[in-house]
Structure 1
Amino acid sequence: MKERTKFHVGLDVHKDSISVSAAELGRAPARLIGKVTHDLNKLLKVLAKIGSAEQLHIVYEAGPTGFGLQRALKERGYLCEIIAPSQIPRRPGDRVKTDGRDCIQLAECSRAGQLSAVWIPEPGDEAIRDLARAREDAVNSRVQARHQLKGFLLRHDIRYPGKTSWSIAYYRWLSTLNFDAGATQTAFTEYWHTVEAADERVERLTKAPVASITGWRFEPVVRALQALRGVAAITAISLMAEIGDLARFSHPRKLMGYLGLVPSEHSSGERTSRGSITKTGNAHARRLLTESAWNYRFKARIGREALARQEALPESIRTTAWKAQLRLTQRFAALRNRGVQINKACVAVARELAGFIWAIGLQVRREEEQAA
């Protein structure tokens, strides 16, 4: 039988160092244990001096060091949680911030039950997420490369006579450009080659996630989500890699809150004031949902590509996707007719789209359990 937690341990984790503090049960202030280099064996020696693995509840903030430390401590029997930095209570008058103060605050807040732990993905889930984020970085790099090329052309007062940039016709037009000065021609060629290399990189990273999800535990949900309008393969894969198991949300509103799509609120007494969305939680998933929501500004229809994605899906999933499309297209149109600014209308639709994604995810899970 495991012993009851006796110490709450706060860690302030950096690339080169880890500050350690401990708070005993009760109301006594937490004490600073010390600082060690970022080495697991040295940290384990410090933790052993505080108490056994069953007696410690360890917390540290989510950061650039990832989940490696949490997984290593978990393998050794420690209860370790990673805390969302945005959910840590902050004192308005506290203007001194040090590593020691940070880990002491973590320990005391953990003892008081004031912290919210983040979801820890399994190594397989994290691998898919890394691949999806690598594609996102590649897309951003390509956008920058394209802007640099178009900026170069604008400086030389060269304008594309067509309508759509970065099409086959646009690339054909680029191949006809010629500059008198040799140095200018060299600069243009380098910009052009950078754009072409960025295109090839995005193409490779677009194919890689689709090939990598075979056998993934969320593969059935990824297939089902593609029945929704505006949710193709890459979007579905990225959403599941970022959100993880949809069943961990007991209600769709909790998923909406996790994605930061709910309005902020500051109410007191009889006055109720709501503002812009909170933008807490996972920014990558929120961006993907907002991009998908733009597709609902058009009338409801099922195109050729969407029909091909739905072909192998159960009738229940296709029915839910069609209900979602009818609901969200009407919602978008109604908001615009009321004079709501289009970006706000898009965010409102994205919030409801998250609810349909939650419903489809749980529907797939129920069908898998019935089949088993």
Structure 2
Amino acid sequence: MECISLLGNQGPLTPVWVPDETHEAIRDLVRAREVANDGLRKARQHLQSFLLRHGRIYAGRAPWTRVHSRWLAIQSFEHPAQNIVLAEYIQAIEDAAVRLDRLTKQVAEAMASWSMGPVVEAYQAMRGVALITAVTFVVEIGDVRRFDSAPQLMAYLGLVPSESSTGDRVRRGGITKAGNVRARRVLIEGAWTYRFPARVSREIEARLDGLPRSVREIAWKAQIRLCARYRKLVMAGKTKTVAVTAIAREMAAFLWAIGQEVAPAKTA
């Protein structure tokens, strides 16, 4: 991948990042997995809607667990056609889950030979940034070193407040939502994990193994700050969604900092 600077009549224009063929291929794979994930979600919605229409409501704690699967297995209807519908919906969910799992494994395997693999691993030091979140961020944004500063990256992601100013009056609104939708979405999803107190879980501890000390320190600093900031924003009267969006914005800044510490691997 490379950045190309264009020259115009008014001087140098904004550099344009051009992904290489491998980057585009990995991005296609990640987006295919996203489609599979959407397919699983829709298949589950179809089954839930069917059961709800017939008054079959699962009373358990969480759906799509082993207990929920056993509950689905004992459901039956008087008319044979409805039993066929139930079986088809369940089969559709199982097929979608197999496809999603297959593509997830393909994404994980592709990281071993990809130049951006070390960057993906480093990003996973962050809380709320597991493999899929990290690789999605990388395939959509590329090398964050192309941004001169963290605020520039946050603006590119559309996570900064919009502004409507007239004269001396400055009015700020919601986030601009400019830039890449997928990268912004995964950051906001990951930001929800900062609702809980800072701690290094076993999963995160395993992901920290082998990473540079500087990356581990940035990730822990992010946990301390963002967990406290979420509580502060909520206590100040901000809605949870507004607080989470603010956390996602700062997550981008910490990812930018990690991206300065770990360079992509050199390719032959």
Same fold by TM-score, threshold 0.5 exceeded? Answer: yes
Residue number among 205, 213, 217 corresponding to 1:315 in the alignment: 213
TM superposition score normalised by structure 1: 0.67
Residue 162 of structure 2 corresponds to residue 264 of structure 1: yes
What's 1:363 paired with? Answer: 261
3-state SS, counterpart of residue 74 of structure 2: coil
Calculate percent identity across the aligned residue pairs. Answer: 47
Q: Relative to 1, partners in 2 of residues 1:164 and 1:119: Cα closer, same or farther, differing over 3 Å?
A: same
Residues in 1 aligned to 2:16 and 2:53: alpha-carbon distance in whole angstroms = 47
What's 2:177 paired with? Answer: 279
What's 2:93 paired with? Answer: 195
Residues in 1 aligned to 2:28 and 2:233: alpha-carbon distance in whole angstroms = 36
Q: Relative to 1, partners in 2 of residues 1:141 and 1:111: Cα closer, same or farther, differing over 3 Å?
A: farther
Aligned residues: 262
Q: Relative to 1, partners in 2 of residues 1:114 and 1:142: Cα closer, same or farther, differing over 3 Å?
A: farther
What's 2:46 paired with? Answer: 148
Residue 236 of structure 2 corresponds to residue 333 of structure 1: no
TM superposition score normalised by structure 2: 0.92
Residue number among 276, 288, 293 corresponding to 2:186 in the alignment: 288
Residue number among 322, 339, 344 corresponding to 2:242 in the alignment: 344
Residues in 2 aligned to 1:210 and 1:148: alpha-carbon distance in whole angstroms = 29
Post-superposition offset of 1:360:
0.3
Residues in 1 aligned to 2:157 and 2:125: alpha-carbon distance in whole angstroms = 21
Give unpaired runs (5+ residues) of structure 1: 1-78, 82-109
| AA of the residue aligned to 1:167 | T
> Is contact 2:5–2:12 with CA below 8 Å preserved after alignment?
no
Give the superposed CA RMSD.
2.1
Q: Relative to 1, partners in 2 of residues 1:308 and 1:291: Cα closer, same or farther, differing over 3 Å?
A: same
Residue 23 of structure 2 corresponds to residue 125 of structure 1: yes
Post-superposition offset of 1:178:
1.5
Residue 132 of structure 2 corresponds to residue 234 of structure 1: yes
| AA of the residue aligned to 2:55 | D
Give unpaired runs (5+ residues) of structure 2: none
Q: Relative to 1, partners in 2 of residues 1:127 and 1:247: Cα closer, same or farther, differing over 3 Å?
A: same
Post-superposition offset of 1:112:
6.5
> Is contact 2:125–2:216 with CA below 8 Å preserved after alignment?
yes
What's 2:75 paired with? Answer: 177
Post-superposition offset of 1:113:
7.6
Post-superposition offset of 1:225:
0.7
| AA of the residue aligned to 2:163 | E
1:15-30 to structure 2, matched below 5 A, reads: none
What's 1:299 paired with? Answer: 197
Residues in 2 aligned to 1:162 and 1:294: alpha-carbon distance in whole angstroms = 23
Residues in 2 aligned to 1:114 and 1:339: alpha-carbon distance in whole angstroms = 45
Residues in 2 aligned to 1:80 and 1:314: alpha-carbon distance in whole angstroms = 32
